[in-house]
Structure formats: C-alpha cells, structure tokens
Amino acid sequence: MGITKQYLRYVPWKNFNIVCHPDCNVVFITLNGISDRYVAVGACENVIIWDLRLEKLVMTIEDEDMKNNTSKKIAVVKLATTSEGKHIAVGYSDGLVNTFNLATGELIGTFQGHRSAITALTYDTHGHMLASGSKDTEAVIWDVIAEKGLHRLSGHKGVVTGIQFMNKHNLVVTSSKDTYIKFWDLTTGHCFKTLAGHITEVWTLSILRDDDFVIAGSNDAELRTWKISKMNEDESEIKMSELLTSDNLLDFASSIKCEKSGSLMREGPGRVVSSATDNTNHVLCVHGHGKLLELFIFSGDGEALERLRNRQRKFRKKASKRDENNEDAAFLNEKNPALQDVVRRLPPILTDYKIRSVDLVVNQTHVKVVVSMADNTLAFYSLSLGVGKEVKLIRKISLHGHRSNVRVLSFSSDSLAIFTGGSECIKMWSRKTLNCIRTVETCSAVQCLCVLPGDRHILAGLEDGKLLVIDIAAGDIIESISAHQNDLKSIYMLPDELGCVTGGGDSTVKLWQLELVTLPSSDRKVLSLLHLKTLQLDENVQCARVSPDNKLLAVALLDNTIKIFFMDTFKHFIDLYGHTLPVNDMDISYDSSIIITASGDKTIRIWGLDYGDCHRRLPTESTLTSIKFIPMTHQFFTTDKNGNIKHWDADVFERVLTLQGHRGECHNMSVSGNGYYVASCGQDNVIRLYEKTEEPLVLEDEREEERAQEDDKELATGEETNVYGGPSVLALPTKKTISSEKAAELLLECLNVIKEYKDNLLESENRGVDKPTLPIIMTAFNVKTTDDYLLEIVKRIRSSELEEVLLLMPFSSVCYFMEALIPLLNHMHHGIEPVVRSLIFLVQTLHKPISSVNDMLPILRQLNVLATKKTNEFRDLVGENLHSLMFINNSQEEEELVFNITQNVQKKRKRQKQKLLKSVIVNM
C-alpha cells in the first residue's frame, strides 16, 4: 500500500466589507458605561460593534462552533440587548438564539426552540427573561438565568412579526402576519385576549410609556393605537345575562382593559417596515420602504393634560363667538387627554438611501438615532426634543464597505493588499488590518481586475468596455481607454510582465503593451497601454488566459468551446470540446502542462495542453463561477452558485476540502501569490478570507468527518416529541436537536455502565473475590464512584436541553435513572439543581406510567423527602452566602468612604497650611 498523500488545511480566517447587513437590525449597546456611542449590527454569521465617534470597528462577536464548522451558512437576523447593556441576544436564520457577554464576547447560553428564522427578539426590563418569535408562527419565552424554556406560545397562524413584554401586568404581547395581536399570561402561558383591529398583516409592534399604549403598524399609513389599563374589580363583575348575550367573550376573562384610542398617520408611503423605541419607551420612530424616518414622542400625563386644557381654552374662545351646542359642552367637560394631546411629532429624518432598520437613545435634551441603510452604510443623527429644531447628521460610516455586491477581487503580488471591484468603485484593503486604504470611484460596474508589477498600478475592466489605468498611491484614474465595444470580461497579465491581454463581449481578444507616456502639461511620466494586436473570433469571449511559458493563448467562447492559439502569431492550435454550457472561468498550471475549465454545466474538466485531451471530468453540485490554481502546484480552488469554495487536486482528481461558503451565490475568488491566502466574494456582500495552516489534512479522515456530519444531520428527525403513556405530542419550549440526542446517548451509556459495574461488584462480593476494576470510561472522566460518574454526566448536559434529553430515554432507563438519583440527593453538592430539575420534570411528564409501577412508589416517596430537604438546605446556603457577600460589600464601601473622607480632610488641611505659610512670608 502506498503512502497516503497529505495536504495542509485551509481554514476561515476573517470576514470584511460589511458595515451593516440589510437582513439584521441595528441596536445601541453599552460599553464602558457609554450608551450612545456603540452600536451592534449583524455581519452574516458574526456580530460586529462599531464606535460611532471614531468610525472604527471595536469588537467582533462570533460563535466558535459556526466558525469551525465549514458547512454551516447561518446568518444573524435579529439582535436584542438588555436595558443595562451587559448582554446581547443574537437570533439566527436557523432558529437558534445565543446570548453573549458584551464585555468579553463570550457565549453565555444557547436556546434552540424554533424550526425557522428568528423574526422577533426582546428582553424584559430586568434582563431575566427573553422572548423570541419565528417564521414557524410560534413564540417562546426563555429563562436566561436558568437557561431553560418557560412557555411555547402557539396560536398565531402566520409569521410572528413582533413580541414585547408588559412588565407592569406580567404579560407578553405578540403580533403576526395573520392580522392579530395576542396577549399572553406569563404565569400560565395562555392567550387571554386577541385584538382584531387590522385587515392586513401586522408588521410592527411597540409598547409606549410604561406599558400604557400598544401601537401596531400595518400595510397602510395608519399606526393603530390602544390604551391599556388594569381592569377594576367592579368592571370584572359581570352578570350572567350579560355574559350569555355578549359576543366578545374573551374580554370578560381579561385582566386588562384595552381601548382603541386613535391612530397616528404616517407621512411616508407604503407599509411599515420596522419601528423602535428608546429604553424609557417615550419616543417611537417608524419607517417604511422609503427614505423617510418619522419620530413621535409620548408625553407624560401632566404635559398631556396641560395640552388638553390649552385646546379647551382656545376652543372656548372660538365657541364664545357662536352659540354653544351639546358637542361643545362635552368637549369642554372632557378631563381625559386624547391621543393628540399625548403624542407630539418630532422633525422627520430624510436619509440618502432606503432605510432597513433603526434604533435610538434619549437623554434629557436630545434624541440620537442610528439608521442602517440598504447600501451598506450607517448614519448617526441627533435632534432636539424641543419644538421646531432641525435634524443634524453627526456621523456616517460608509468607507468600510462597498455599496453593492463585490463582483471581482485580486491580491497584490506581495499578498499584503486586496483589491475589490463593485458596481460603483474599486477599493484597496490591507490584509492584516482589513481596513480600507483607497477608494476609487468608477463610472460603470467593474468586471475584472489585474494588478501590475510593482503593485503601484491596477487595470480595471468595466461593463461599458472601458479599460482603466489606476494609480494606487494617488487613488486616481490615470487613463480611461475604450478597449472594447461591449463589456470587458477578462484581463490577464503576460508572463513577461510587459503587457496584457483583454477579452470582451465584442468577440475580440486584444494584446496590449505597457509603456510610459509623458504628460503634455508637465514633464511627469505616467503609465499607459499601447495596443499591439487584435484577435477576431466568431463568438463572444468569456475569458482569456496565457500559458506561463508565453507560448499559448487560451480563449473560452460563448459556444461552449475553448480555443487554443499560438501566442506569437495568433494562429489556431487546437479546440477543446466537451462542455455543454459556456465556460465561466479557466486557469493554466504553472508548468503549462494542464488547463482546467469551470463551466455552467456543473462540471470541471482537466485538459492536457500537449494534445488537447480531457484527462478527467469532475462533476459538481452547482454551476461553477470561478476556478484558480494554487501557485506552483496542481491543486486548485473552485466557487459555485451554491456559495461553496472547494479545494481540489488535479493529480489525483479528487476533492480535498469544502470551506465555509457564502449564503447565496459565490461570485469570484482569488488566490495569493504565495498560496497562503484565499479570498472570495458572494451574494451576501461579505468578503471571506481563508488562511493556510500547518495542520495536516488526510483525504480519508476528511471523508470520514463529512460522513459523520451527514449522519448528524439525519439524527434529529421530526419536530414532535412523543411521551410514553402520555399525550402524543408534548409542546415543550425546546426542540429535539443533534446535541440533545448525543447527550441522551451519553446518559444511556452511563446508566448501562453503572448497572453492569454494580452487577459485577455484587457478583464478586458473593464469590468472595477482589472488586472489579473501574470501567475505562469512568477513569476517562476522572471519577472514582458510580454516583460521581452519573453526576458528571448530568452536569455536562446543557440546561436548555435537559428536558429533551430526558424524553429521549426509554421508560426502563427512566425508572433506573430515578432510582440512581437517591444517592445523589443524600449528600450536598453543587449539582443539586439539574438533579432536582430532572426529577420534577420526569414526575410531571410521566406521572401515570411511573405511578402504575408498584416498585416505583417507595422510590418516589423517598425522592420526595430527599428532594424537599436538599432543596431547602441549598436555598438556605445560597441565601446565607448572598447576605454574607452583601455584608462584605457594605463593609468595603464604608471603609472606602471613610478613607476618601480622611484623604480629603488631609488634603484640605495641607492646602490651608500652605496658604497660611504663603501669607506669613508675604507679610514678612
């Protein structure tokens, strides 16, 4: 058997070019005690934090599991922060919710309960509970402290678009595309009230002014507003006759009174896209699909009452000139302010581009608003809370990203810079810092790039057929040459570095020579191109390449063929037939022996340049968009419309590795000159950078790992959880996942090992022989007894997945597991909480089958006594520790206060002595 060939692994390194992703909202966060300076936005699978004052990226929050898994394409779609600003909740496109610590960027908790993308996410006032809504029409309430699900709110028939806590009433309000707004009781998890005031989808939901107003936006310009108040005891007592004759029965069971107070009319056209409120819930901002952002401020009761009295005073003056009627008297006797008295409009904000999301903070005098726009920019505005003040644009972050999708990119010769081209400009990036160094505006979309020797100039081919010569240091366009009549699709530098070849949509390939030209206005010489030859073809040119030995010219045409010409005379050499769709990209190896082509027919073909024979045809899963050799090797990379970046070996005709790809189509890719870096751009507007590591990669091991990943995807089949002897479906807040099934297998293995070891131990005691040795797996966990082994396994289960793990166990194992919990409850340890949680959940869920087994009844009685006793002891221990820490903290604060007072007194006395001494010297 031959030696297995090894490769070095490429891994995802960094992402850039995203200022704010249009699919995710923007939120203000608190860092270093400052709440109006930093904002968090989504950047594909990461969360990035911008400093609005310095226009600088200060932190990137990324999940290590997503970074290490090369096959996941999960994007951040929703963000929410606590009122204190210490934690941030991140909702992903697969229904996952993670919470992170903003100070350190560490992952705190993971919550898996949804089957599709998160659409609504919010914390309660204290940050103890988290509510999430999803496209699966359900909402889930999570306990952040205990890391478990509390309630699954099922009742909507459409996508959940908004979810808000009403802390004053202990309620949750949700809105959905099914046109309904529902009120849920947090104690029971049931819906007790439904508002049906909309005839179309409800897109936004906001709660203003200390849970007094509920405002919802729909497809029209009307923001419907309801006044919320608590139901009095007199109002809740309803006669039986009224209950039987009433149509709206839900209102009678409600603990709150909900009255329609009016509507706020927007000025912007179209439906409401999103809305946001500040931490005090007094200012509301809404926007549609346009560029107009509207703000409303909800005044307090005193200010609203004063406005009502002013209106009544003005009305009384006008009414005195005419006869008073009943309506006038009714208005003049009104004591409750109307909606127009409570709400006041602030000056609207008109942005430069379409708004995608917005967030705001309010201080005593000003409102600060951050707006994320569809052109990958962030704008920071400030306006006064007074009347008639203008809006001020403070900052705009736009330099760190293209306005549209990046179509082409290229490395510099020293691999220290990356050049990218979009539909509006060309940018130069530093590979080390990923900062934008230069930006050159273009008049048309960039189709191809070529870096000239010396890394001082670049050539750019535009969609209108022009060829630009750009000076990198100055950031200016030196010359614009009309190279082709249609779009210029390909630029390739000649191996002798004295010229280049270009191919365009006008069915021509042109040969150019580099030269220095003296400007007529000065003696300064600039770089220019001299046209030498033109090769006329029958079809449009897709791409053109020159062999490294400078002997052959390969041209891919629109008729699915690749024509090979001699470079010196442009005479035809050979044709390469075989593709059924046009070739999108091709490349020639460093030794000019083989040429690889990537086509729209989902195949890669490897050809020999000596006879033009096809060495191998490699099928792929999607249409290929680009292909590049790794310098000085026969290994190459490909990109496709599925967003994948794949590593291949042309010698053994096998795929080596699949890297983490883009969400959507991957447009282009470039390999650095030293082969250590790969950069790719795609439809998700992010540029991904990959790095070559020293980690060896073996094909057989990689295939085994890929098969294991495919098996993991098939593990969690079905979304419903069956309960033995109970209801067919149990609506838990969590869902069955791969990690929960693996944890269940680990727990079952633990129970089997414990049972087998105890049987062997009993048998050895009966025979009078030595005790059996500990199982190897117990030694691996560094435990000495079976009780410690079971406790270690239970503690390793995620708190949010504990219920799902217990439900996946068979009933016989459940009975043995409950019996094994008795020794764990007999002694005090820090894992008492998951043990008691497991016991309570099993008894609640499987009460009937467990109580029907006679042998389990004494075990249940014993568990009841032990669980109650240990829970009380642990609660007392926690309370004692808490108050001890509070006492120590108060003592330290008193000592610091005394120390500070003493220091101040000493400083004051010292200053008085010095002042007295100076006065004595002056008198003398």
User: What pLDDT, on the 0 to 100 scale, is given for residue 729?
Assistant: 45
Give the tens place of pLDDT for each residue, 215-242. 999 998 889 999 988 876 555 555 445 5
Question: ∠206-207-211 over CA atoms, to 5°?
Answer: 175
Nearest to 357 by CA among 666, 67, 22, 82: 22
Residue-level pLDDT at 691: 93
Task: List helix spans (H) across 278-392.
Answer: 301-319, 326-332, 339-342
> 10 Å Cβ neighbour count for 331?
15
- Quick one: how far is CA 503 from the chain centroid? 40
CA dihedral 866, 872, 877, 879 (to 10 degrees): 160
pLDDT digits (tens, 9 = 90+) for 95-139: 999 999 998 889 998 999 898 999 999 999 988 999 999 999 999
% of the chain exceeding 90 in pLDDT:
42
Pick from 432-441, 509-518, 721-730, 849-858: least confident: 721-730
Q: What was the pLDDT predicted at 329?
A: 59
**Residue 366: phi, psi to the nearest 5?**
-130, 160
CA 217 – CA 617 distance, rounded (Å): 56
**DSSP-derived 3-state class of residue 562:** strand
Span 434-473, pLDDT tens digits = 999 999 999 889 999 999 988 889 999 999 889 999 998 8
pLDDT per residue as tens digits for the range 681-716: 999 889 999 999 998 888 888 888 888 777 766 665
Q: What sign does the CA torsion over 797, 798, 803, 804 have?
A: negative
- What is the rounded CA–CA span in Å between residue 223 and residue 762? 74
- To 5 degrees, how large is the angle CA 749–CA 755–CA 756? 90
237 phi and psi, to 5 degrees? -85, 110
Give pLDDT, residue 250: 44
pLDDT grade for 269, boundaries at 50, 70 and 90: confident
What average pLDDT does range 273-289 have in this prediction? 91
**Helix 811-825 vs helix 738-767: crossing angle, to nearest 10:** 70
pLDDT band for position 605 (50/70/90)? Answer: very high
Q: Are 554 and 563 within 8 A, CB to CB? A: yes
Beta strands in 107-240 (DSSP E): 107-112, 118-123, 129-134, 138-143, 148-154, 160-166, 171-176, 181-185, 191-195, 204-208, 213-217, 222-230
- 247, pLDDT greater than 60: no
pLDDT tens for 531-565 read 999 999 989 999 999 999 999 999 999 999 999 99
329 — phi, psi (to 5°)?
Answer: -65, -40
Lowest-pLDDT choice from 352-361, 710-719, 735-744: 710-719
What is the rounded distance in angstroms from the CA atom of residue 189 to the CA atom of residue 886? 35
For 879, phi then psi, to 5°, come to -65, -40
pLDDT score recorded for residue 802: 87
Please state, as a whole number, how many other Cβ atoms lie within 10 Å of the Cβ of residue 636: 23
Asked if 653 and 694 count as a contact pair (C-beta separation under 8 A), the reply is: no
Alpha-carbon separation of residue 920 from 75, 166, 906, 907, 913 (angstroms): 75, 69, 21, 20, 11
What average pLDDT does this structure show over 814-833?
84
Query: What is the residue-averaged pLDDT of the chain?
Result: 86
pLDDT band at 721 (very low <50, low <70, confident <90, very high): low
DSSP 325: -
Cα angle 797, 800, 803 (rounded to 5 degrees) comes to 75
What is the distance in angstroms between the CA of the first residue and the CA of the last residue of the chain?
Answer: 106
Q: What mean pLDDT comes out for the span 250-264?
A: 74
Tell me the mean pLDDT in the region 367-394. Answer: 89
pLDDT of residue 333 exceeding 80: no
Task: Tell me the one-letter amino acid at 495.
Answer: P
Mean pLDDT of 617-623: 92
pLDDT at 406 over 80: yes
Rg (CA), the chain: 35
119 and 161 Cβ atoms separated by less than 8 Å: yes
Per-residue confidence (pLDDT) for residue 716, from 0 to 100? 56
For 312-326, how does the pLDDT look when each residue is reduced to its tens digit (9 = 90+)? 777 777 766 665 554
DSSP for 630-692 reads PTTSSEEEEEETT--EEEEETTTTEEEEEE---SS-EEEEEE-TTSSEEEEEETTS-EEEEEE
Question: Rounded to whole angstroms, what are the CA distances from 314 to 214, 327, 341, 343, 415?
Answer: 30, 15, 14, 19, 74
27 or 873, which is more confident? 27
Please report the pLDDT score of residue 239 as a whole number. 43
Q: Is the pLDDT of residue 805 over 50?
A: yes
| 872 pLDDT more than 70 | yes
Please tell me whether residue 143 adopts helix, strand or coil conformation.
strand
pLDDT value for 73 = 74
Q: Give per-residue pLDDT as tens, 639-673.
A: 999 999 999 999 999 999 998 888 889 999 999 99
Question: How does residue 302 score in pLDDT terms, banded at 50, 70 and 90?
Answer: confident
Residue with the larger pLDDT of the pair 36 and 67: 36
Q: Is the pLDDT assigned to residue 784 strictly greater than 80?
A: yes
Q: How many CA atoms lie within 13 A of 273 on its CB side?
A: 23
Residue type, 62: E
pLDDT at 1: 36
Average pLDDT of the residues in 778-785: 86
pTM of the model: 0.85
The pLDDT, as a whole number, for residue 67 is 64
The answer, yes or no, to whether residue 421 has pLDDT greater than 80, is yes
The two three-digit tokens of residue 509, written as one number: 């390939």
Tokens coding 387: 């009347």
Task: Compute the distance between CA of residue 859 and CA of residue 61 in angstroms, rounded to an integer.
Answer: 47
Can you tell me whether residue 104 is helix, strand or coil?
A: coil
- To 10 degrees, what angle do helices 856-923 and 811-825 make? 50
